[in-house]
Amino acid sequence: MRIAVVGATGMVGEIMLKVLAERNFPVTELIPVASEKSIGKEIEFNGKKYKVVGLQTAVDSKADIALFSAGGETSLEWAPKFAAAGTTVIDNSSAWRMDPTKKLVVPEINAGELTAADKIIANPNCSTIQMVLALAPLHKKYTIKRVIVSTYQSITGTGVKAVQQFENECAGIEGDMVYKYKINRNCIPQCDSFEANGYTKEEMKLVNETKKILSDNSIKVTATAVRVPVVGGHSEAVNVEFAHDFDVSEVRNILHHTDGITVQDNLDTYTYPMPRYAEGKNDVFVGRIRRDESQQNTLNMWIVADNLRKGAATNTIQIAEYLIEAKLV
């Protein structure tokens, strides 16, 4: 299994290499790919050293699978070239997510929709993945009518330059500003750029991707996405209105038996999800599960995940694992 990692020297690319090693992914040849300035650099994977190559060299290598984490413009230009060479692309950017001809996949929910003809597969947005993993089994049981989500998103979602800005601020060093404002001791109610309707791109990803993954355009979703001075992962306060009533203990039980979810919900021991403890883990953590007493058939949850793991690298690699298991590559 020849695997190309496009964006291998970036924050998500580095986590992809870690996750590939941790999960004993059957890599027979690794092809690390990055921008021109990184060509020729060496990276280490499973005790071997590999030289970083450029995009055209990687296309010509005809890898079995290419894991993309190099930004939307790169994906739009190069994913079709890899696909034309016979490589199956799993793309982490937003480039292909809402393309009606492309599958948007969270393996625990809808990997079964994939076929050998799917040569470009979209990985959802990090904040969407962790939310829909908890929503999917509850939608199946109670039918979701409306979701209200407020996110508390890690600076790692912006990238290494945002982490550097935060570290500089903590150390009292003047440096480059990725955000329009200081992030240390602050919350910025803007993730990504604003759209014409007053919502940010990140907020609209939560709206549109949720409907596509759950295959239900009738679900109403509204979102507020906030950047917070946290490194470990994204957190979300999620309010869900169902068509049918539910029992809170049954909700906990359903989530407890959902692959990829760890329920942390014990008020007696002050046990609930936090990004500090989600960092470096592949699961989505759900807690503060309680009835919304202001409205019928409505539930509140607190959902946390490492946005670089399940929100990006791990989900991508789980898609690749499914493709191999199902003999689609």
| Residue 234 annotated as catalytic | yes
- The CATH number covering residue 83 comes to 3.40.50.720
> Does 69 belong to an annotated binding site?
no
| Residue 187 annotated as catalytic | no
Question: 277 and 132 in one domain?
Answer: yes
- The CATH number covering residue 292 comes to 3.30.360.10
d(CA 76, CA 70): 10
Predicted confidence at residue 81, as pLDDT, reads 98
Predicted confidence at residue 62, as pLDDT, reads 97
SS3 content of the chain, % helix, strand, coil (to 5): 35, 25, 40
DSSP string, 190-201: -SS-B-TTS-BH
| Domain residue limits at 302 | 127-307
Please state the domain count of the chain. 2
Question: 263 and 178 in one domain?
Answer: yes
Catalytic option among 234, 244, 256, 257 = 234
Q: Tell me: the pLDDT tens digits for 221-244?
A: 999 999 999 999 999 999 999 999
Question: 147 and 116 in one domain?
Answer: no
Question: 153 and 109 in one domain?
Answer: no
227 within 8 A of 183, measured Cβ to Cβ:
yes
> Does 175 belong to an annotated binding site?
no
Q: Tell me: the pLDDT tens digits for 34-90?
A: 998 999 999 999 999 999 999 999 999 999 999 999 999 999 999 999 999 999 999
Q: Tell me: the pLDDT tens digits for 149-192?
A: 999 999 999 999 999 999 999 999 999 999 999 999 999 999 99
> Does 217 belong to an annotated binding site?
no
Q: Tell me: the pLDDT tens digits for 87-138?
A: 999 999 999 999 999 999 999 999 999 999 999 999 999 999 999 999 999 9
> Does 252 belong to an annotated binding site?
no
Catalytic option among 126, 187, 244, 257 = 126
> Does 221 belong to an annotated binding site?
no
231 within 8 A of 154, measured Cβ to Cβ:
yes
